[in-house]
Structure 1
Amino acid sequence: MIEAPEAPAYLETLLLVLDLFGVFFFAVSGSLLAARRRFDLIGSVFLAFLAGLGGGVVRDLIINEDVPNAFANPLYLIPPALAATLVYFRLVTQGRLRRTLLVFDAAGLALFCVTGTRTALAAGIEPVMAILLGVATGVVGGLLRDVVANEVPEIFNRHGLYAVPALFGAGLSSLLWTLDVFNWLTAGLVMMAVFAFRLISFRRRWTAPNAAHGSSS
């Protein structure tokens, strides 16, 4: 591990807020998927918590935090509960359920790959390993959500890139941190870039190379 510089208090607060928004966006995607699969309210709440908190819990366990943030700070319980409530009362749905789910999922991915990388760097993790933890924070919640709901995980969906935008965001965040220019503005710009990257790749059906060179799609 490397010794990480102490971040300003305002940046810590901002990143906590962004992390909570990331939890909310992923949690909404979980509850929307539960609605699409016609799960009951308990299933919706479970998927909301799993999608919203799964990536952060895995990250914190790997970093060897005493207690993962999701269990140490009660604020992390609010976004999943709110997400399940909004979906239950149909305040988040609007017909094109698949597109709505995609947008919330992309927003969660964008926030988590940045905040996850920054959390790992602040804990003293080497930049390259911090990138991997940032990607894990971004994709694990959605992976768990889809597996539990018996869906093909988005990370394996051929219609659009998923892990690549997360890797881009995590790598750029690590670079900005190394250059000592990681702040609220640069973090926000990276998040917006990842969000746009994910949605454009889905719309244009960009794909990563096949596992075996020369094989058909």
Structure 2
Amino acid sequence: MRLGIYLFDEVEVLDFAGPFEVFNTASRLVHRADPQAAPPFEVLTLAPSLAPVRARGGLLVTPQHVFSEAPPLDLLIVPGGVVTAELARPGLSDWLVRQSLQLKALASICTGAFLLEKAGLLNEREATTHWEDLEDLQAVSQASGSLLRVVVHQRWVEARPWVHHGGRCRLFSSAGISAGIDLSLHLVAEFASVDLARRTARQMDYEWRAANGTVLHTVL
């Protein structure tokens, strides 16, 4: 499956690097077990241009594709950070809507949920974001006339899918940095296998938690 991670200036580093590590580690483990096996995930980075993205803290990252010219994707992750400029970016909302017509799953991390809300993808659905931004997300959705219901006290949320004539796109949102890693492991479990997700968490020495906080894999 081809997975895209959207990058932009002031993106939160671990919001994109955490999922990047999860999906690449999962593929590496499959290759280690069977060098002839096809990797379950191909991970691409997408951005407004091919110029280096300056993430929060000044980290420079070179994207692989311009988002408007991205190859066909199966999964898309929209991380958080300072999203003010992205909310005003021409064409981004329309691109996200078009992607939802072909994706198997679209997931936001942290304030990435604001970009999905701006695109109208969360109307009449449930979503969450970082605890500092829950009230703002609710206020923004009310101001826009959206019927989004903001969920608190969950690490991630799966909303009602975006159904269209050609299929359905599953919609996910997650809270902060570690919740985005939890959600990424959940997506590995959903689109590859639970066993691979557990082995990935073990390889990363990571305590994987479910949406409600239940520990699914412990490092102890």
TM range (shorter): 0.3 to 0.5
Q: Please, what TM-score do these two structures have when normalized by structure 2?
A: 0.32
Larger RCO (CA under 8 A, 6+ residues apart): 1
Q: Please, what TM-score do these two structures have when normalized by structure 1?
A: 0.33
More helix by proportion, 1 or 2? 1
